[in-house]
């Protein structure tokens, strides 16, 4: 093609790191400087968006119109935007608190405590985002052997007992001593912490959170349920979406990633997770694993 030949002539004499791709991201031309950045560049070979992004010094040009973003790239872009939006909330509140320091009659100890909470909120969000990224890139082995569930359930319930008491939520454990789940102990802790903390955060005062582990149809069942506020039928299918919060949860300090992490861990280990709820009748989240 004439366009390709012209591109090679123009790029070949450039001192800058320039690579020209066609609509399918195949290399049409590359300058000597681009080859130094990217290594040996083979004409006609695809150059992925990730490979190009890893070399910001390389200018990528398209012979025709730039191709549409892949579904993965669109998802990543949306996720990045959502993370940015969620981080702005605690940072904006922190800025307001700092600007209030010089006002007459300011309660400095109270401001410091509130600022500490906002920093903790931002840190928890960043930790959850990084952990979810590790899961999705395969850096965390989710299912590796089997773990007897009850000791871990007892450990997590004891660790969250003070938080539950402050929220006036009673914790009840009903776990079969013999049931094993196809998760590493760390992954099981992640699942339990997120499920129980979610119940404590949203169930409401005077409620009970029940953690159950039992055999179920030849497999294993892990369920965390409460008799609290519950959510609407509209909200139930969306509970496992990243950053999604039902109306009554929007003012909470949760990161909005806990249930998304639970779903990712469970499905990666071959299990299924579902939510069941009605307003005023509590929320139940059930995790089922097939028999070994």
pLDDT digits (tens, 9 = 90+) for 251-266: 444 456 778 888 888 8
Residue 114 shares a structural domain with residue 47: no
| More confidently predicted of 233 and 155 | 155
Which of 93, 113, 136 delimits the end of a domain? 136
Question: Could you give the percent of the chain with pLDDT greater than 70?
Answer: 70
56: domain CATH number is 3.40.1170
pLDDT, tens only, 203-248: 999 999 999 999 987 789 999 999 998 888 888 888 887 666 554 4
CATH number of residue 124's parent domain: 1.10.287
SS3 for the chain is CHHHHHHHHHHHCCCCCEEEECCCCEEEEECHHHHHHHCCCCCCCECCHHHHHCCCCCEEEECCCCCCCCHHHHHHHHHHHHHHHHHHHHHHHHHHHHHCCCCCCCCHHHHHHHHHHHHHHHHHHHHHHHHHHHHHCCCCCCCCCCEEHHHHHHHHHHHCHHHHHHCCEEEEEEECCCCEECCCHHHHHHHHHHHHHHHHHHCCCCEEEEEEEEEECCEEEEEEEECCCCCCCCCHHHCCCCCCCCHHHCCCCCCCCHHHHHHHHHHHCCCEEEEEECCCCCEEEEEEECCC
Q: Which of 62, 86, 109 is the last residue of a domain?
A: 62
- Do 193 and 272 lie in a common domain? yes
Whether residues 123 and 34 fall in one domain: no
Same domain for 178 and 284? yes
Q: Is residue 45 part of a domain?
A: yes
85/113 same-domain check: yes
Instruction: Tell me the residue range of the domain where 78 lies.
Output: 71-136
| Residue 53 and residue 122 in one domain | no
Q: What is the CATH number of the domain that holds 247?
A: 3.30.565.10
Q: Does residue 142 lie within any of the structural domains?
A: no
pTM for this prediction: 0.56
Residues 261 and 173 in one domain: yes
Domain count, the chain: 3
């Amino acid at each position: 093609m004439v366009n390709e030949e012209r591109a090679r002539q123009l790029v070949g004499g450039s001192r800058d790191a320039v690579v020209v791709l066609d609509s399918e991201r195949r290399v049409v031309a590359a300058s000597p400087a681009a080859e130094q950045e990217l290594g040996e560049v083979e004409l006609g070979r695809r150059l992925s968006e990730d490979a190009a992004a890893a070399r910001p010094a390389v200018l990528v040009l398209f012979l025709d119109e730039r191709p549409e973003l892949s579904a993965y790239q669109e998802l990543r872009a949306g996720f990045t935007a959502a993370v940015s939006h969620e981080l702005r909330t605690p940072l904006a509140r922190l800025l307001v608190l700092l600007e209030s320091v010089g006002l007459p009659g300011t309660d400095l100890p109270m401001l410091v405590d509130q600022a500490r909470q906002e920093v903790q909120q931002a840190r928890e969000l960043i930790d959850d985002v990084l952990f979810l990224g590790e899961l999705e890139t395969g850096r965390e082995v989710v299912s590796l052997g089997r773990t007897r569930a009850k000791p871990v359930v007892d450990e997590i319930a004891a660790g969250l007992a003070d938080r539950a008491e402050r929220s006036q939520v009673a914790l009840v454990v009903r776990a079969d001593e013999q049931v094993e789940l196809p998760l590493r102990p760390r992954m099981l802790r992640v699942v339990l912490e997120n499920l129980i903390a979610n119940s404590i955060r949203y169930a409401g005062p005077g409620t009970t959170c029940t953690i159950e582990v039992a055999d179920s149809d030849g497999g294993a069942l892990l369920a965390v349920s409460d008799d609290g506020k519950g959510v609407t039928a509209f909200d139930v299918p969306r509970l496992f979406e990243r950053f999604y919060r039902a109306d009554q949860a929007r003012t909470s300090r949760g990161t909005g990633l806990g249930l998304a992490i639970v779903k990712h861990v469970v499905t990666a280990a071959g299990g299924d997770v579902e939510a069941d709820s009605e307003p005023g009748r509590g929320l139940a989240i059930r995790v089922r694993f097939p028999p070994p």
